[in-house]
Amino acid sequence: MLSLLGTVKNYHWGKKGPQSLVYRLAVLNAQSDAKLSENEAYAELWMGNHVMDPSLVKDTHQPLGAYLAKQPPEVVGSTGDLSFLLKVLSIETALSIQVHPNKKEAEELHKLFPDVYKDDNHKPEMAIALTPFLALCGFRPVDKILDFLKTFPAVAELLGQENVQKLQKDSGTEGHSEGLKACFTRLMESTPEEIAKCLEATKKQMEVAMEPENILLKTFLTLQRDFPGDVGILTVFFLHIVELKPGEAIFLSANEPHAYISGDCIEAMACSDNVIRAGLTPKPKDIPTLIRHLKYNPQPLASKIFTPQKLNGDEFVDLFSPPVKDFAVIRYRIPAGVKEHSVKLKNHASVLIILSGKAKLEYPGSPGIAVSPGSVIFLPGNIGNQLNIQKEAAEELFEAYQATYNDF
């Protein structure tokens, strides 16, 4: 087992300084190496072996990939490299309206635009809430969108009568919606003047008709405050507003529209950083590519929530196993009163971050390693499949998240 240094990302949307969980974990993770400013935004902590920003072996500052290249194949396992990337996110303002391409599309985009799409991998991902967490995710059912268009005529006017009629033809149907594609394309291609006019009229109507605590109004006003005049604000009428409680999760497959709005989360994904953006961002947008690649499949809100299972029936260990092989997430929550606990795992390399509690991790026959909040640990795939956790203090909660290859 190896202690790692994660990589910090100071994106504009992150929480600032000590308010950010990323900042607090980075200080603990780097300890004497920390050179962090309390005035900067701390958005993401990366843990893994992505080509742009691999984690470092803490003792030597050697890139994790360089270390793995010198190890026997069984250290990583059958995949030959870490197929996943683990992150912690602390979100103050919304991330962009975005999708991630599938594998074939990622290869094509990387070949054509390597400066924009930095790798050739797909990027299915999962967010597990650590605090109350707000996101836009996936298209609402067609009938719900049509209800909004009846209620807010300025939005319907912006989309145009012909496109709205196409959407009406898809009412009550499942699967791909050409009407939805037509309406969303028209929205994304609207001029700034058209968007501004629609936003002004819709905002006035919403503030008169809705209670201040209405989640649609609150989300609309939050996005309007942070990104005035942005087309992404109007996506609240198309995309589900998902409110996650701590411990709840969403899974995002390729080409599913989404935007995280606020809160802290664990995020796991295939090892990629490919993003196609179209709103709520100062970064370059690629609206034609997004429109072309989107999945226009309306689904109910309940379909967006991903429910974990107990790993091998273990009451203290949850398994988030999405329908992709690239990654799974294991969550450990060993409560006060339990001093030691053993967990049976697969023989695959993994990366683990500790959020709460001090403990010693060991495999049978290994010397073990001491961990505490902020510790990031690489666990090789060839040291056995029984992880023993010995807490320093029985009265503490031990909480950790582990990303690994998914053959559960």
Range(s) of the chain covered by CATH 2.60.120.10: 309-404
For 179, the enclosing helix (H) or strand (E) is helix 178-188
Cβ burial, residue 138 (10 Å; 0-12/13-18/19+): buried
Whether residue 98 is annotated as binding a ligand: the answer is yes
The residue-averaged pLDDT of 219-233 equals: 96
- Cβ contact 94:260 at 8 Å: yes
Would you give the distance in Å from CA 309 to the centre of its chain?
19
| pLDDT band, very low/low/confident/very high, at 234 (cuts 50, 70, 90) | very high
pLDDT at position 53 over 80: yes
The confidence score (pLDDT) of residue 172 equals: 75
Whether residue 125 is annotated as binding a ligand: the answer is yes
Which residue would you say has higher pLDDT here, 22 or 278? Answer: 22
pLDDT digits (tens, 9 = 90+) for 25-48: 999 988 545 578 889 999 999 999
Architecture of domain 309-404: Sandwich (2.60)
The confidence score (pLDDT) of residue 281 equals: 84
The residue-averaged pLDDT of 175-199 equals: 95
The confidence score (pLDDT) of residue 32 equals: 46
Whether residue 100 is annotated as binding a ligand: the answer is yes
The reply to whether CATH 1.10.441.10 applies to domain 135-306 is yes
The residue-averaged pLDDT of 392-401 equals: 96
The confidence score (pLDDT) of residue 112 equals: 78
Q: Report the alpha-carbon distance of residue 137 to residue 97 in Å, rounded.
A: 9
In sequence order, the β-bridge partners of residue 379 are: 350
Record the tokens describing residue 399, joined without a space. 């909480």
Whether residue 110 is annotated as binding a ligand: the answer is no
Cα 142 to Cα 69, 118, 278: the distances in Å are 50, 35, 21
The residue-averaged pLDDT of 189-195 equals: 96
Which residue would you say has higher pLDDT here, 119 or 203? Answer: 203
Q: Which residues are catalytic?
A: 277
Cα 364 to Cα 313, 338, 368, 369: the distances in Å are 22, 20, 9, 12
DSSP assignment, residue 96? P
Which residue would you say has higher pLDDT here, 250 or 286? Answer: 250
**Lowest mean pLDDT: which of 82-91, 291-300, 314-323?**
291-300
pLDDT at position 122 over 70: no
Range(s) of the chain covered by CATH 1.10.441.10: 135-306
pTM of the prediction?
A: 0.94
Nearest C-alpha neighbor of 168 from the set 199, 201, 145? 145
pLDDT digits (tens, 9 = 90+) for 284-293: 788 888 888 8
Q: Report the alpha-carbon distance of residue 25 to residue 264 in Å, rounded.
A: 12
HSE, side-chain direction, 13 A CA sphere, residue 317: 17
